[in-house]
Structure 1
């Protein structure tokens, strides 16, 4: 329609006005139709339209409203015979609630996000690429035979170049993220076996927060002073809240892929016992006296390094199950 109008304007040597080319009613009516029915697409091409893009917010109870806002839908036919997509998988830990799912046809296909998980909005990759170029990334143009041993660097799946010291690069990138110089949503994945470093800044990744563990003395970076500061006002006039904890680098958001490359301790108590285990030279700790406590194998405390710690194991549950 707009192209035809443009052609006519050129042929008849008339001035082109966007108001006359685009009928406001066309766009308004199209949007109204899509929002009202949930069929995202042209009214005429009804079959190709996506269904269920907009829904009426559930207002039965407060919990049902919150639950509806955190619902994930798997686009698979409800009458499919394959059981695998419906089953709980160990990679859902902390991302998707293991209990909250409907019964019947949609069982396991409609999931709910866990309490603290959220979805990345996406940030521009340009600042990351600029930083990599400054930090000595060898571009693909200057590739030598010797650089075949170097680590490949990918940004959102695009091969940007190679780097000779990936360990240092990863540490620097994580430091920048913890200082809030680059977005907390950026994911830094180092695959040592494949000699790859993958950076992601795109949208749609599920992230969850974890306490950061100081690698030098295996203690949490979050201290009592941070907790006592919560709710108080900073010099800048804003309140000290969750966002400030993330900006100060004591809590970090990880996505599923980066989670594969870190060591996560189950609770601050386990971290303490792990330090004690190491101080005793690997001797098993005293037996637990509480019969209802979680059984822990001595191997739980054996790892030399922990990089992160769970905020609380109950964070694996969603809104209704918790």
Structure 2
């Protein structure tokens, strides 16, 4: 639960260590329909179980949606990149989790409610991009946030939702977190970029966002 549960705050007394508090920027998914994603994958060469012949495609990747085996795909890299791109372009919900288990040849998608997620800055990992290995976050994104100070119309505000909509920030749950590479600081990102070119890398928003302890105005500790 690194980054999702506060490592410090816990009640005093009998419940000490048993009751946990969410970190400042943790988010609990509310759920979204899975059918549009399944239909999209069917249009991208996903084979349904009724048509799957294991002897013909022994190395195919199984696709699970909310724990249900819905089909297989012979090009897992393509389908994972495509669905991930949809999420970063805000065509599907930002709380959808995408887990690629390369060892077991499985691709898991979760759209259900109740999953704890945390935000991460996205690192550009497109081989054709001139900014590969750098944060998607740029100066013009910061300028848009600064402009929000003079905006009174809520519909025109850029805000946090704007960062998510442009793929600058994405939410990762505990299971997906196990399949991505995360760096703590921009300095670590620069070092990692030199040694881990080609890996899927994300950058932590801020170390303090993993803590909640005593942030209310009546704090006495």
TM-score by length of 1: 0.61
State the match for 2:172 in structure 1.
254
Give runs of aligned pairs for residues 146-161 of structure 1, distance below 5 A. Answer: 146-161=56-71
Q: Does 1:126 align with 2:62?
A: no
Structure (1/2) with the larger strand percentage: 2
* Distance 1:237-1:314 versus aligned 2 partners, 3 A rule: closer
Total equivalences in the alignment: 206
State the match for 2:209 in structure 1.
315
Q: Distance in 2 between matches of 1:138 and 1:273?
A: 41
Q: Distance in 2 between matches of 1:303 and 1:176?
A: 25
Q: Report the alpha carbon displacement of residue 218 of structure 1 after superposing the two structures with TM.
A: 0.9
1:178 aligned to 63, 88, 112, which one?
A: 88
Question: RMSD over aligned Cα, in angstroms?
Answer: 2.0
Structure (1/2) with the larger helix percentage: 1
Structure with bigger RCO (C-alpha 8 Å, 6+ apart)? 2
Structure 1: stretches of 5+ with no match in the other structure: 1-91, 279-301
The Cα offsets for residues 270-299 of structure 1, whole Å up to 9 and x where unpaired, read as 213444xx3xxxxxxxxxxxxxxxxxxxxx
The Cα offsets for residues 119-171 of structure 1, whole Å up to 9 and x where unpaired, read as 00000111111111111111111111212321110000111011000111000
Q: Report the alpha carbon displacement of residue 93 of structure 1 after superposing the two structures with TM.
A: 0.9
TM-score by length of 2: 0.87
Q: Does 1:106 align with 2:24?
A: no
The list of structure 1 runs, each at least 4 consecutive aligned residues, that deviate by more than 2 angstroms after superposition, is 231-234, 272-275, 302-306
State the match for 2:219 in structure 1.
none
The Cα offsets for residues 83-142 of structure 1, whole Å up to 9 and x where unpaired, read as xxxxxxxxx210000000012211121110001111000001111111111111111111
The Cα offsets for residues 23-73 of structure 1, whole Å up to 9 and x where unpaired, read as xxxxxxxxxxxxxxxxxxxxxxxxxxxxxxxxxxxxxxxxxxxxxxxxxxx
Give runs of aligned pairs for residues 219-238 of structure 1, distance below 5 A. Answer: 219-232=134-147, 238=156
Q: Does 1:140 align with 2:49?
A: yes
State the match for 2:104 in structure 1.
194
Q: Report the alpha carbon displacement of residue 321 of structure 1 after superposing the two structures with TM.
A: 5.9
